[in-house]
Amino acid sequence: MSKVDSRKRIKAKVRKKVSGTPDRPRLTVYRSLNHIYAQLIDDVNGKTLVAYSTKTKDSVKDLESLKGKTSKSKLVGKCLAEKALAQSITTCVFDRNGYRYHGRVKALAEGAREGGLKF
Q: Which helix (H) or strand (E) holds 37?
A: strand 36-42
Q: Give the CATH number, domain containing residue 97.
A: 3.30.420.100
pLDDT of residue 81: 97
Strand partners, 113: none
Please state the domain count of the chain: 1
Measured distance CA(95)–CA(16) in Å, rounded? 11
Residue 81 domain boundaries: 3-115
Order of strands across the sheet with 36-42?
A: 47-53, 36-42, 26-31, 93-95
pLDDT of residue 62: 81
Packing angle of the helix pair 104-115, 69-86 (nearest 10 deg): 30
Low-confidence ranges of the chain (pLDDT < 70): none
pLDDT of residue 60: 84
pLDDT of residue 38: 97
pLDDT of residue 83: 96
pLDDT of residue 111: 97
